[in-house]
Amino acid sequence: MYDAAPLPSPVRRKPRVDHDARRAAYVSVAARVLLEKGLHAATMRDIAEAAGASKVLFYRLFPSREALVEAVFERVENEIRHAHDQPWEGYGSLVRHVLAAARKEPAPFLLVFKNIRSAGLDWEDRLRVILAQVSMPLFTPGDQAPEGADRRAIQASGAMFGLFVDSMITWLEDRDGLTDEERIRWWGRIVKAWREAAREAFRLD
């Protein structure tokens, strides 16, 4: 009786790389390194070494340092848009959602907010547009509003931009001695008063 032919060894396949997860992890590392070393001082080498990866691999995912920095901003941008998509829970609810997301990973938010007016970046203009869009429902002109109300509504919707940025930095660094619940209550009251005062001042009713 002849021996059966040996079975072929099973082919070992390399584990599939989740490129989206790897990219997201590198963006997180980049945010921390850029925040620690400085937005304009940290290099791709610094970030790659902190991530335990080669520069070659980094450049496969991000063709330039600018693309990596942009990816950090987009993470913050997307979180703010996501917060706007959540159900309205009263004045201050959007900021509550943004703060909750930032608490999970502060570095991207602190990097963006602290460098919002940095030379060579368009972050301030882009973030102003987003925040104006998400607050616009508060300033929709009434039917009897004088001519030019749409333009004035845009101006009114962006009036709190600076306070929002400064507050988020203070809250994430816990420099005001308040709890997050106290912060949101305070912010909600400000937004309510701001809406009432702005609608009157900008003649939106």
Q: What is the pTM for the complete model shown?
A: 0.86
pLDDT in tens, 104-152: 999 999 999 999 999 889 999 999 998 888 888 899 999 999 999 999 9
Position 27 pLDDT exceeds 80: yes
**Domain extents for the chain?**
19-201
At 62, list the tokens.
């991000």
Report domain 19-201's class. Answer: mainly alpha
Burial of 5 (0-12, 13-18, 19+ CB in 10 A): exposed
> What CA–CA distance (Å, rounded) separates 31 from 109?
9
* Whether the Cβ atoms of residue 20 and residue 101 lie closer than 8 Å to each other: no
Give the DSSP letter string of 11-45: PPPPPPP-HHHHHHHHHHHHHHHHHHH-TTT--HH
Cβ proximity of 191 and 126 under 8 Å:
no
Inter-helix orientation angle 65-85/123-135, to 10°: 10
Q: What does pLDDT average to over the chain?
A: 90
Give me the amino acid identity at 68.
Answer: L
Instruction: Quick: pLDDT tens for 32-70.
Output: 999 999 999 999 999 999 999 888 888 888 999 999 999
